[in-house]
Amino acid sequence: MNTIMMARHSPGTRPARLTTFAGMRGFIRALLLAVLSALLFHARAGAAASFAEGNAAYQRGDYVQAYDVMQTLAAQGNPRAQANLALMYRNGQGTAQDYIEAIKWYRLAAEQGDALGQFGLGYGYEAGHGVTQNYAEAVKWYRQAAAQGNASAQINLGIMYRDGRGVARDHAVAADWYRLAAAQGNAVAQHNLGVAYEAGQGVAADIPQAVKWYRLAAEQGDPDAQNNLGVLYEQGHGVARNGAEALRLYRRAAVQGNAASQNNLGVMYANGSAVAQDDVRALMWFTIAAYSGDTGAMRNHVTAAASMTPEQLAQARKMARDCMARRLAGCE
């Protein structure tokens, strides 16, 4: 088989997403912030117990009960319940999806100083979900949440500075916000800071620092960081060249659905790099990555398939179908 194109990095820095339902720790922290800010919010033992019940219901997937509990508490003015209720409206959990209702509740929480409410409202303005898209408003609310230490808001504020949306472009400020979130142990921020150090965006290029931050994120299971660290190991860039370690990292990211790592894993099988050469398994991974839209994998698929027999092609396609049907479990 002809040599396939070299391994590729994952796309660059990425934002945080609205996925977190706030639990009791966040609720208690919100109560303390409310008292310190002299907000008109008074917690009772019964309310705290109800919040815990709602959170437990959400965690076990009983969204209807969680919605009922959070709706009751939100109507009583509980800002963390308001933020959680907004998330459920946004995701259509326990109720019909309704971005406008989500924005309503995020705003009520945000105006009481709740960091999750501020982050959610900023996210709504950035995406234009339930409200007219307005990057300046997104920056405003991200900044308020970020100032309270909300790591997701710090990441997204950094992205806004990186892209110059709602604020003047400033890679150095972007890196500063990533660093604050990374110091809290946030894997997305650690990955983003690694990208900044590798590319020299907002900081002096420093591959050992990139390796450090990629490694921290990779150890938490971040697939983009695993892929990018794998590329550095494969190329011997900032670390001693180690094909076996690159292979291990690509495998970890590939089974999480990371298309760049799926392509890179295919490259290693195609070229017999740190693993026994296997045209069929290479094509399997190129097929899976191409299905996710990876253009490099599409080109590699064409190159690899051109020199394979009909039997090999059929086997690779079946392996790819079976692997995707199992949601990538047991594919390696």
Model confidence at 35, pLDDT cuts 50, 70, 90, reads very low
Q: How far lies 222's CA from each of 10, 66, 99, 165, in Å? A: 11, 29, 29, 26
What 3-state DSSP class applies to 165?
coil
* CA–CA gap between residue 268 and residue 177 (Å, rounded): 36
* Stretch 198-203: mean pLDDT: 96
Does residue 16 register a pLDDT over 90? no
Tokens of residue 139, six digits: 């920056």
* CA–CA gap between residue 332 and residue 257 (Å, rounded): 13
* Stretch 74-100: mean pLDDT: 96
pLDDT of residue 24: 33
- Listed residue (32, 35, 78) closest to 55, CA to CA: 78
- Name all domains of the chain by residue range, CATH numbers in brackets: 23-124 (1.25.40.10), 221-325 (1.25.40.10)
Q: How many CA atoms lie within 13 A of 219 on its CB side?
A: 7
- Is residue 145 within 8 Å of residue 114, measured between CB atoms? no
- Is residue 142 within 8 Å of residue 153, measured between CB atoms? yes
SS3 readout for 80-119: HHHHHHHHHHHHCCCCCCCHHHHHHHHHHHHHCCCHHHHH
- Is residue 201 within 8 Å of residue 169, measured between CB atoms? no
Amino acid at 266: G
- Per-residue pLDDT reduced to its tens digit, 154-198: 999 999 999 999 999 999 999 999 999 999 999 999 999 999 999
Does residue 53 register a pLDDT over 60? yes
- Per-residue pLDDT reduced to its tens digit, 113-162: 999 999 999 999 999 999 999 999 999 999 999 999 999 999 999 999 99
pLDDT of residue 30: 34
The more confident residue out of 45 and 86 is 86
pLDDT of residue 166: 98
pLDDT of residue 260: 95
